[in-house]
A and B are shown apart, each in its own frame.
Chain A
Amino acid sequence: AQTVTQSQPEMSVQEAETVTLSCTYDTSESDYYLFWYKQPPSRQMILVIRQEAYKQQNATENRFSVNFQKAAKSFSLKISDSQLGDAAMYFCAYRSWSGGGADGLTFGKGTHLIIQP
């Protein structure tokens, strides 16, 4: 079974600065997807960014980018120019893709991101 580990329970950053959230995962599969989801105090789960394992290029969405290191099984999220609205729990998630099969997401325990004004 796959596991996802987020080793930082809480991170704090000054507004406008850059912060990196760490995520590692364990899998024996070669094809899979990785995601970062954001959960603000409203509890809504919001997709931030997605990465396909077969793509070498790191995904980017505006101020959000990832550093995907497949050999190291590492998938970190970088948030540039942090804004107060970025304050939330951030969850790293893994999803396998095995020959047309299907599966749910496996989540890490989350990192609570605090933005200091």
Chain B
Amino acid sequence: DSGVTQTPKHLITATGQRVTLRCSPRSGDLSVYWYQQSLDQGLQFLIQYYNGEERAKGNILERFSAQQFPDLHSELNLSSLELGDSALYFCASSASESTEQYFGPGTRLTVT
């Protein structure tokens, strides 16, 4: 157990819908990262937040957005969902920007 929690574990929704994925980092970690793992694209970095502020962006679509709240938990919002958005979404956290990242168990999103 990495100490990073993600909810829900599984999510099934229809095309065009919007969903929110939630992540709680390890106690004391200020940095949160979101990743997408799909068969087509492999593991891709989406976005990073550090102590409430956006710090780095990867291959995140405009339909996707994220935020980190004052209690340091983070949410990833996915809208206008397409079949290709079906993937495993990971959240990771680290104590600082220079330390290793610890991954949560992931949220499996299925878009039908």
Q: Which residues of A contact B (CB under 8 A)?
A: 33, 35, 37, 42-47, 50, 91, 97, 100-107, 109-110
Contact = CB atoms under 8 A, between A and B. Distances in A.
Contact of B50 (A46, A47, A102): A102
B65 to A, nearest CB: 16
Interface stretch (B20-28, B74-82, B95-103): B95-103
B55 A102 contact: yes
A104 B100 contact: no
Contacts, number: 57
Contacts of B45: 103-106
Chain A facing B: main interface SS: loop
A104 B105 contact: no
Contacts of A42: 105
Contact of B90 (A45, A100, A101): A45
Given A45-B90, A97-B98, A110-B42, A104 B48 contact: yes
The 10 closest A-B pairs by CB, nearest first: A104-B45, A45-B103, A107-B43, A102-B97, A102-B55, A102-B56, A103-B56, A104-B58, A109-B42, A50-B100
